[in-house]
Structure 1
């Protein structure tokens, strides 16, 4: 009932109110910002079409070589990775094939495998005096900066087992 009354009041004399609003005088637009018109348009057009020798000589120095994209039917050329990138053998690996890491036998210098990273972090956590960031960098052929960041910002998992309370009540079956 209340919505009918509000609709009647809202729509009362709607057409006359709309005509009144439309017929009101519109506000004038703001004046445009004055622009300096000291240079005639003809001079600008002339300057645009004039030959500029320094720019033309620089343009002649540019060499662009383009190739057609490979169509879907053609074979994609194989990019050979430089064989001389230095790699090192893994120090630690997981037994078996748990996560698909077994096929990895070596890593690039400056990188760590997941198992090596966890081992290095664990060694540093257990014996920080022995396994310093410098020794880790030397052992795994890492950048000393990266080894320092590794020991500062990454921590192996801490597992804490909370023993149950001894005064636990047991429910007896009746």
Structure 2
């Protein structure tokens, strides 16, 4: 209720505030002796003490209007011109600025892959593909074949395939009825992709058996 009364009061006072506003504005602009902004107490004290210590002649001139100074101030003005630098900065041809302004999305592996890879090196994308192929079919994708296909050192390839793997599912044989705990995970071996396919096949066979029994 208070907000409504306050807004109504402001609406009622507004016409009186805006009455003859333009004429009052011009009158205020044409005033010679305007009210100056108030000083801070410490600043006012310093200025008063400084004036008090001046001779009487200086105090008298401070109160009078100096026409000569006013005329000089009227002649003071500032102009600005665009000046070209005498020695323009030249680009380094060995380190040219980028000219491609296209928006690039975030790379898949967190960095932009090189266009060319030297012998003995491999990109992260190819490395993930190699590890996945070796896990899916280790008899076909042997370390020797991978090292030959990707131009890698055979001993280094064997170490990489031994110590690095992609994410695999860890699940007990009766995973539908067994409660997964920390102690259970310690006793379960890592499931390879081949055994994952077997799990899915067992699940589908179990569902078929249940559907036949219901029918």
> Which TM-score band applies after superposition, normalised by the shorter structure?
0.3 to 0.5
Task: State the TM-score, normalizing by the size of structure 2.
Answer: 0.29
Larger radius of gyration: 2
